[in-house]
Amino acid sequence: MREVNELINVDDPAWPLLLQELSGTGVPVEVLPGDPETGRASLLQLQVSARSNLGGIVLNCGGMLVDSGWLRIFGSPSGADAEGLPGLAEINAMPATFDPAWLSGAGLVVAHDVLGGVFTLNGGNPRQAGRPGEPGEILYFAPDALGWQALGAGHSAWLSWILSGGLQEFYEDLRWDGWRDEVSVLNGRQGLSFFPPLWSAEARQDLSAASRRPVPMAELLSLSRNSCLQFDGADPGFLGVV
């Protein structure tokens, strides 16, 4: 096990380079203030260093709101806010104090989107967990398809893809006129519920005609899990705690 100072005091920390990348992107990104103590504790529990983008985000900020909050990338937020963006530690149910026996299981949840989609960093044995992709690869749980898909990139490459505008094409069929106005007023623990649901034939034919309402993100994640179990009996597994 590496001690926290060993994880933090590295020669080539990722955060300064990530800040440069953020300053040069045309994608709207709000970097939230972080809590240093929570960041250090999370880094220790994860056993990742500040040399990685994941470690840099967890240590230095409270998370990132991309595209007016459409995508929420988790960090270590300051303070306890019932409506604010949850932290990576909370989302992944990390122990309150360091536990060397704790593992992230099938994968580490690193981001949610406003639709209830989940971005996860694959664990060490995806096949055993019933998930696609390779260890350390980013997966996406798609609420419109009710299943996981491998994105073919690790965490750093995934983040660069986001900052280069990759979300625009990725969500091309899942955005409607005026989506930004609807998304921007949600708090960090809300998402949008659709009726008919995103996975239905009706929503696929005309998404803009579907009704939408803000709901707790926990409700969206529970609905996706229950739908998976109802339709094919396949449990998607851990989607995060909100």
pLDDT band at 234 (very low <50, low <70, confident <90, very high): confident
Query: Which residues, in sequence order, are CB contacts of 52 under 8 Å at separation 6+?
Result: 14, 155, 156
CA dist 214 and 228 (Å) reads: 22
**Taking the domains of the chain in order of start, what are their residue ranges?**
4-232
DSSP state of 196: S
> Any idea of the CA torsion for 9, 101, 147, 127, to the nearest 10 degrees?
100
| Residue 12: CA count within 13 A, CB half-sphere | 1
Question: Most distant CA pair in the chain: distance in Å?
Answer: 54
What's the pLDDT at 22? 97
pLDDT band at 156 (very low <50, low <70, confident <90, very high): very high
| 5: number of Cβ within 10 Å | 9
Mean of all residue pLDDT scores within the chain: 95
Going through 94-142 in order, the beta strands assigned E by DSSP cover 107-113, 118-122, 138-142
Q: What is the helix (H) or strand (E) element at residue 55, kind and residue range?
A: helix 53-60
pLDDT band at 6 (very low <50, low <70, confident <90, very high): very high
Q: Is residue 223 over pLDDT 90?
A: yes
% of the chain surpassing 70 pLDDT: 99
Q: Across residues 157-171, what is the average pLDDT? A: 98
DSSP 9-51: --SS-SHHHHHHHHHT-SS-EEEEPB-HHHHHHHHHHHT--TT
| Residue 113: CA count within 13 A, CB half-sphere | 20
Q: Is residue 198 over pLDDT 70?
A: yes
pLDDT band at 8 (very low <50, low <70, confident <90, very high): very high
pLDDT band at 139 (very low <50, low <70, confident <90, very high): very high
DSSP state of 86: P
Query: Which among 167, 112, 176 has a CA at the least distance from the CA of 143?
Result: 112
Predicted confidence (pLDDT) per residue in 82-124, tens digit: 689 999 999 999 999 999 999 888 999 999 999 999 999 999 9
Q: Which residues pair with 64 in a beta bridge?
A: 31, 73
pLDDT band at 80 (very low <50, low <70, confident <90, very high): low
CA dist 155 and 14 (Å) reads: 12
The reported pTM is 0.97
Strands in 63-66's sheet, in edge-to-edge order, are: 29-32, 63-66, 71-74, 107-113, 118-122, 138-142, 147-150
Q: Is residue 26 over pLDDT 70?
A: yes
What's the pLDDT at 79? 74
